[in-house]
Amino acid sequence: MKIEDARVIVCSPGRNFVTLKIVTDEGVTGVGDATLNGRELAVASYLADHVVPALIGRDPGRIEDTWQYLYKGSYWRRGPVTMTAIAAVDTALWDIKGKVAGLPVYQLLGGRSREGVTVYGHASAPDTESVLTEVARYVELGYKAVRVQTGVPGLQTTYGVGRGRMFYEPADAAVPSEATWSTERYLAHTPSVFARVRDEFGPGLRLLHDVHHRLTPIEAARLGRDLEPHRLTWMEDPVPAELQEGFRLIRRHTTTPIAVGEVFNTVWDCQQLITEQLVDYIRTTVVHAGGISHLRRIFDLAALYHVRSGSHGATDLSPVCMAAALHLDISIPNFGLQEYMRHTEETDAVFPHSYRFEDGYLLPSESPGLGVDIDEALAAEYPYKPASLPVNRLEDGTMHSW
Ligand code: CS2
Ligand code: MG
């Protein structure tokens, strides 16, 4: 079997997605997500201009060799654009291998280690009282874990607080919109939200919170300590993680578990965090961390150090990525949690899939391969629209992490 064609499909059914579809000479096809929010066309060009020509004629069964070819062969290793492009090829080749074998991909990864993939949903609202209603909606839907984000008094907008109910999309303008941030206001407010939510919903519900890289280690240490009585499952991205040793400081002060990794692309980005046991959950994804092959490598390293998976699953990761994530989640020994932000109906229609939500769990498809596809004719009805993530400044105008 040989790769005959590979198409890069850019579409915007509600938001932008980049998808790679690989076609073999025997008519078997495979799909991979290649979406990098706000930088979509960079990956589309990387694939179309630099990767696709080298794929034609290759044996689609050689997944590891193709991964190494694209990684070592690019010379310029790592980085989000390269690793997202490699991820798309890797994911599509696993899809093809599953279809050729007549098995869902999780069977090729060792089979089920659990009955379902526990997911967490996003409850967000402008203030504490209204977020209680949102948390209750997720509990009614059967969710066992809920991420809670609210507005911060004195700030006009806050990361993670959606404009529409159950859908959240921060990439809102071609030229980045600007938000304002105050660490003082945020730290003064957030623990009281969790006190109220825990009081209302009792000890059984798993609660999570995303800090979105906005603190310094000592500020994160204080937040973690203030949150301890409310027993969070995790505090996510407390600080930007380029300085991995900075997490030692947080660790010295708090037992609130830490989750990190949605912007990481390789095992080398999280090696120190994992081997020094500075985090509890690693949140790397199929699409941004080199595909199923490389993500499994990260999770295997994590398993040796008591670190569990907690893959990012925002709406800017397409249903193709979600389908692939579920095959890994169900098979690895050290699964923790999977983020699940529901896609819009338009997105679901463009990416027909057979994974499903049931009572707080996502269940991967039982079809051969990944069990997801792209409807190319429908995708063509939604052309690309430039959209960037916002930027963030402190109240005095200083640029800050968004
Ligand atoms: C977030 C994301 O889901 C999360 O945890 O941090 O929504 C993130 O902001 C987006 O994926 C950025 O594209
Ligand atoms: Mg996050």
pLDDT digits 0-9 by tens, 274-308: 999 999 999 999 999 999 999 999 999 999 999 99
Taking CB atoms within 8 Å and a gap of at least 24, the contacts of 349-356 are 349/13, 349/375, 349/378, 350/11, 350/13, 350/17, 350/374, 350/375, 350/378, 350/379, 350/382, 351/17, 351/19, 351/318, 351/319, 351/320, 351/375, 353/319, 353/322, 353/323, 355/319, 355/322, 355/323, 355/326
Which one-letter DSSP state was computed for residue 125?
A: E
220 and 97 in a common domain: no
Segment among 153-167, 171-185, 193-207, 236-250 with least mean pLDDT? 153-167
For ligand 1, residues with CB inside 6 Å are 37, 170, 210, 212, 262, 312, 314, 316, 339, 389
Give ion ligand 2 contacts, CB < 5 A: 210
Q: Is the pLDDT of residue 158 over 70?
A: yes
- Say if pTM beats, i.e. exceeds, 0.75: yes
Which band of pLDDT confidence, cut at 50, 70 and 90, is reported for residue 172? confident
Q: What confidence score (pLDDT) does residue 157 get?
A: 87
Backbone angles phi, psi at 29, to 5 degrees: -120, 160
**Domain at 78, CATH number:** 3.30.390.10
Structural domain including 78 reads 3-104
Query: Do 91 and 134 fall within a single domain?
Result: no
Ligand 1 centroid to Cα of residue 210, in Å, is: 9
pLDDT for 163 equals 67
Domain boundary among 104, 136, 162: 104
* pLDDT for res 389: 96
Q: What pLDDT shows up at residue 56?
A: 98
Instruction: Take atom 8 of ligand 1 and give the residue whose Cα is closest.
Output: 314
- 16-23 mean pLDDT: 99
pLDDT single digits (tens) 52-72: 999 999 999 999 999 999 999
pLDDT at 213 over 80: yes
Pocket test for ligand 1, best of 40, 124, 312 (most atoms within 8 A of CB): 312
Cα–Cα dist 325/396, whole Å: 41
Both tokens of 125, joined, read 């609202």
Instruction: Say yes or no to pLDDT of 167 above 90.
Output: no
pLDDT tens digit sequence for 345-364: 999 999 999 999 999 999 99
93 & 188 share domain: no
Q: Which of 159, 186, 340, 361 is catalytic?
A: 159
Nearest CA residue ID for atom 2, ligand 1: 314
Relative to the alpha carbon of 122, which ligand is closest?
Answer: 1
Q: Which residues contact 34 (CB under 8 A, 6 or more apart)?
A: 8, 18, 19, 20, 43, 44, 47, 84, 85, 87, 88, 287
- Active-site residue 138, yes or no? no
pLDDT score at 162: 77
Residues 73 and 133 in one domain: no
Structure confidence at residue 168 (pLDDT): 78
164 pLDDT above the threshold of 70: no
114 shares a domain with 227: yes
Structural domain total, the chain = 2
* Ligand 1 site-directed mutation target among 33, 84, 210, most atoms within 8 Å of CB: 210
Q: Whose C-alpha lies nearest to ligand 1, atom 4? A: 314
Ligand 1 atom nearest to 171, measured from its CA: 13
Return the H-helix or E-strand segment holding 340: none
For residue 26, which of 3, 52, 54 has the smallest C-alpha distance? Answer: 3
What does DSSP assign to residue 289? T
Residue nearest to atom 7 of ligand 1 (CA): 314
Residue 166 has pLDDT above 90, yes or no: no
Is 353 catalytic? The answer is no
Q: What is the pLDDT of residue 78?
A: 96
Residues 64 and 170 occupy one common structural domain: no
Q: What percent of the chain has pLDDT over 90?
A: 96
Say which CATH number the domain at 329 has.
Answer: 3.20.20.120
pLDDT at 254: 98
CA of 235 to the centre of ligand 2 (A): 10
Average pLDDT, the chain: 97
Q: How far is the CA of 212 from the centre of ligand 1 (A)?
A: 8
CA of 391 to the centre of ligand 2 (A): 15
Identified catalytic residue from 122, 209, 212, 213: 212
What angle do helix axes 217-227 and 183-201 make, rounded to 10 degrees? 20
**Residue 391's pLDDT band (cuts 50, 70, 90):** very high
Residue 72 and residue 178 in one domain: no
Residue 245 has pLDDT above 80, yes or no: yes
Ligand nearest to the CA of 401: 1
User: How many Å apart are CA 227 and CA 214, to the nearest integer?
Assistant: 16
- Residue 300 Cα to ligand 2 midpoint, Å, equals 22
Q: Is the pLDDT of residue 210 over 70?
A: yes
The better pLDDT of the pair 354, 164 is held by: 354
Give percent above pLDDT 70 in the chain: 99
Element at 192 (helix H, strand E): helix 183-201
For residue 339, the ligand closest to its alpha carbon is 1
32 & 160 share domain: no
Length of the chain as a residue count: 402
Give the ligand 1 atom nearest the CA of 122. 3
Based on the fold, state whether residues 74 and 125 are members of the same structural domain: no
